[in-house]
Amino acid sequence: MSQKTLEQYKKAYHSVAKEDRARGFYMHLAIYLFINTISAILNYFLTPDFLWVIFPVFFWGIGITWNYVSAFILVDKKLEKLDLEAEKRAKNNSN
């Protein structure tokens, strides 16, 4: 069995972390679409005079947008920060 370098480990960890964040986003998106579709149907049949469904769609949509940004745009910065913190702790523990 070959020895893995720290860089290989970091690369594998980053890949797993990115996949996990993406999976979390897609699960959140699926729930958002499902619940809001059901809500829209209920709104249409039960209270067609007041379009209340736009409120959860809009405000939950803000959360979905932030989840997307966090999962796909800011993930590299977050992982880099965690790497630096782990290296700092490892250095302090070795002293």
What residue ranges do the domains of the chain occupy?
Answer: 20-94
Residues 6+ apart with CB under 8 A from 82: none
pLDDT at 65 over 80: yes
Instruction: Please state whether the predicted TM-score (pTM) of the whole model is above 0.95.
Output: no
Closest CA to 32 of 75, 72, 65, 70: 65
- 5-14, 21-30, 71-80: lowest mean pLDDT where? 5-14
* Backbone torsion region of residue 5, taken as left when φ is above 0, otherwise alpha when ψ lies between -120 and 50, otherwise beta: beta
pLDDT tens-digit readout, 18-44: 999 999 999 999 999 999 999 999 999
pLDDT of residue 44: 98
pLDDT of residue 60: 98
The residue to which tokens 């409120």 are assigned: 55
- Residue 67 pLDDT class (50, 70, 90 cuts): very high
The mean pLDDT of 40-53, rounded to a whole number, is 98
